[in-house]
A = this chain, B = another copy of it.
Amino acid sequence: MTATRQNNGERTIIPLQVAGCCDNVAMSPKNPRLNEQVKLLSALADPTRLRIVELLSGACDSICVCDITTQFELGQPTISHHLKVLRDANLVSWEKRGLWVYYSLNRDVFEEIASHLSGLLSAAQLAGAQR
């Protein structure tokens, strides 16, 4: 229940759905795609992986692993590990051409998390405006 501090020091209970206001705390359903979104955010929450995503975002086309590796002062297996995390989160696609492997951003999946965060922001702005 949402509580409000009163003059006398008591917390008064605000009933559910007051005057068309936003959802009450106790009502908020657990986001069914929570784990999925946490996986996406976790994949992005690393300096190396975020930089890789930025590289892929700014590139014309897919990028060769060899070109990604040279951007970092990290061993090749470490870069390969980070690429695997991005793959497992479905944030990137890979394609093998000869000896080289090329990675590219999965824009649709990437948009999912971006729009979710924007959605939370909108909800907050809406809630703030109703005050």
Give residues in A with beta carbon < 8 Å to B.
Answer: 1-3, 5, 9, 11, 18, 21-23, 25-26, 28, 30-31, 34-35, 37-38, 41-42, 44-47, 50-51, 53-61, 63-64, 66-68, 70-71, 97-98, 100, 102, 105, 107, 110-111, 113-114, 117-118, 120-121, 123-125, 127-128, 130-131
Contact = CB atoms under 8 A, between A and B. Distances in A.
B118 A58 contact: no
Contacts of A54: 28, 31, 120
A60 B131 contact: yes
Contacts of A120: 53-54, 57, 110, 114
A60 B11 contact: no
